[in-house]
Amino acid sequence: MKTPICEKLGIEFPLVAFSHCRDVVVEVSKAGGFGMLGAAGHTPESLEIELTWIDEHIDGKPYGVDLIVPTSIDAKEGGLTVEEIESRIPEPHKRYVEQILAEHGIATAGLWDRQIAANFGDNMREAGASQVLEVALDHPIKMVVNALGVPPGFMIDAARQKGILLGALAGTKEHAIKHAEAGLDAVIAAGGEAGGHCGEIATLVLVPEIVETLRDYPEVSILAAGGIVTGKQMAACMAMGAEGAWTGSVWLTTAEAETHPVIKEKMLQASSRQTVRSRSRTGKYTRQLRSPWTDAWHAAEAPDPLPMPLQGLVSGPALQKIDKLALSGDPGAKALSTYWVGQGVGLMNETIGARSVVREFMEDFAGAAERLGELME
């Protein structure tokens, strides 16, 4: 297939696979797509290990790295210590988290001991983020993407110096214009069906809207995202003007994925109605599996979620404890467990290898294109 994004990235099929699992990244790139490693949770040291492993196993195929670098964090929290940031977390929010856990039989003693510091990543600030970016750019990646807003200046400058493509996610046409004006190479039109951080405009509306909005920026490639888990959906988005698809959720149930086994089983059993947009995890709206945890934060008595990154410091210790206990079979923890996933989860009903998923996308896409062609005869 020859779309501009294929030529820019040097790939055979314009399917981008966002995953935190290095095995998925490698298998997708080897199958003709483009693996994109989610690196937001990494330190420079751990990212170096992951990227070195990818380089050794990907057989020279192209891949990229996705970071979360919200520029507003520096303005608000940049000069503060971890202790000063912790002091900004209201006690009622901590007590509410403890209440949720206690109602599900989970002990809360020691919940906050050293956990705030452990959950506050330096890569959410320019000093730390620049170190992670430096590690990424020292590897043969083809593209780096910022998941929250226009990449900050230091990120744009560093990528340009290395000749690496730049992209960013957009949930509205206004976001897309800002990305184009900043000179980015790719805009990911992420509809509200997407897992993780997402807007509220449906993919079927957002993609053609952004395509039309960026008509005067033909050099910018547009990728469709949000609920896309089949080649038929990918074909529909490309019929609307996208050059390819950005996918994430579909890889969470693959054989290679390191998804928590309790979460993976929940996803395989879930319908498309069992996700929810909630600020309970990071402070920004993210789509995730619905559970008593998300329900509690939507209850009338719930405190308003804190802005990013503070809400993540409140939810992080609890969700980590939930994940750990769920592995041991704790019923309360298994009920509360949740993770980011899009509405396409209702179509994710079996565990197969990542290469097989790419192959199914290709076959599905070809079938959809053939059906459209027959309609035109």
Within-domain flag for 40: yes
Q: Is the pTM of this model over 0.75?
A: yes
Q: So what's the pLDDT on residue 71? A: 59
Within-domain flag for 243: yes
Residue 214's φ and ψ, nearest 5 degrees, are -95, 20
CA dist list (Å): 46 to 113, 136, 186, 258: 24, 11, 27, 16
Could you tell me if 250 and 232 are in contact, meaning their C-beta atoms sit under 8 angstroms apart? no
* Series of mean pLDDT values for 10-residue runs along the chain (377 residues): 94 98 98 96 94 98 90 51 78 96 95 64 66 94 93 92 96 97 97 93 98 97 98 97 98 96 97 96 94 97 92 93 96 97 96 98 97 88
- Angle at the Cα of 348 (from 366 to 295), degrees rounded to 5? 140
Strand partners, 167: 145, 186
Could you tell me if 129 and 51 are in contact, meaning their C-beta atoms sit under 8 angstroms apart? no
Closest CA to 147 of 183, 116, 171, 115: 171
Strands across the sheet containing 196-197: 196-197, 286-289, 275-278
Within-domain flag for 177: yes
Q: So what's the pLDDT on residue 246? A: 98
Classify residue 255 by burial, with Cβ atoms within 10 Å: 0-12, 13-18, 19+: middle
Closest CA to 28 of 68, 66, 59: 59
Could you tell me if 69 and 129 are in contact, meaning their C-beta atoms sit under 8 angstroms apart? yes
Task: Determine the Cα–Cα distance for residues 284 and 7; give it in Å rounded to an integer.
Answer: 34
Q: So what's the pLDDT on residue 88? A: 85
Q: Can you say how many angstroms the Cα of residue 205 is from the centroid of all Cα atoms in its chain?
A: 20
Within-domain flag for 284: no
Residues 289-319, buried b or exposed e (16+ Cβ, 10 A)? bbbebbebbeeeeeeebbbbbbbbbbbbbbb
Within-domain flag for 346: no
Calculate helix-pair angle for 153-162, 126-137, nearest 10 degrees.
10
Q: So what's the pLDDT on residue 376? A: 85
Query: Encoding tokens for residue 49?
Result: 């290990």
Within-domain flag for 22: yes
* Number of compact structural domains in the chain: 1
Strand partners, 144: 65, 166
Task: Determine the Cα–Cα distance for residues 355 and 255; give it in Å rounded to an integer.
Answer: 10
Count of all residues that appear for the chain in the document: 377
Within-domain flag for 29: yes
Q: So what's the pLDDT on residue 30? A: 98
Within-domain flag for 377: no
What CATH number should be reported for the domain holding residue 181? Answer: 3.20.20.70
Could you tell me if 211 and 157 are in contact, meaning their C-beta atoms sit under 8 angstroms apart? no
Where in the sequence is the domain holding 209, given as residue range(s)?
4-78+125-251
Q: So what's the pLDDT on residue 266? A: 97
